Amino acid sequence: QVQLQESGPGLVNPSQTLSLTCTVSGASISRGTYYWTWIRQPPGKGLEYLGRIYTTGIIDYNPALKSRVTISGDASKNQFSLNLNSVTAADAAVYYCARNVLRYFDFWGQGTLVTVSS
């Protein structure tokens, strides 16, 4: 069974960088035809795709956030990470990591809530 677990600070200061890590078990982020993805959900709102990294290291980003988002992978730890810089209150959300196969997301992490406040 594939499992994903997000980790990282729950509180980030405005204008600083939000950094999260997703640890994957039951699958390898460097093998197979999968993308490893970040998605967020502001409280009480809908889902927003942030970006993804393929097993070969190819990365796609949501064009709306591309200038602030960086996704990277560490195959040795079977983890992938999200960095979002220059955060504002609008970036407060539950951040999910998920596995993307073809055009859908079949496994999701439990999500981690990030608050932006000084």
Partner 1 sequence: SYDLTQPPSVSVSPGQTASITCFGDDLGDKYVSWYQQKPGQSPMLVIYQDVKRPSGIPERFSGSNSGNTATLTISGTQTVDEAEYFCQIWDSSFAVFGGGTKLTVL
The nearest distance, CB 50 to partner 1, in angstroms, is: 9
Contact flag: residue 8 with partner 1 (CB under 8 A)? no
Which 15-44 positions form the footprint of partner 1 (CB under 8 A)? 37, 39
- Of 16, 49, 70, 78, the one binding partner 1 by CB under 8 A: 49
Distance from C-alpha of 82 to C-alpha of 116, rounded to nearest angstrom:
16
Closest by CA position to 18, among listed 32, 8, 26:
8
- Of 47, 77, 83, 86, the one binding partner 1 by CB under 8 A: 47
The nearest distance, CB 46 to partner 1, in angstroms, is: 5
Count how many Cα atoms sit within 13 Å of the Cα of residue 63 in the half-sphere of its side chain.
0
Sign of the Cα torsion 91, 37, 17, 62 reads negative
Contact flag: residue 60 with partner 1 (CB under 8 A)? yes
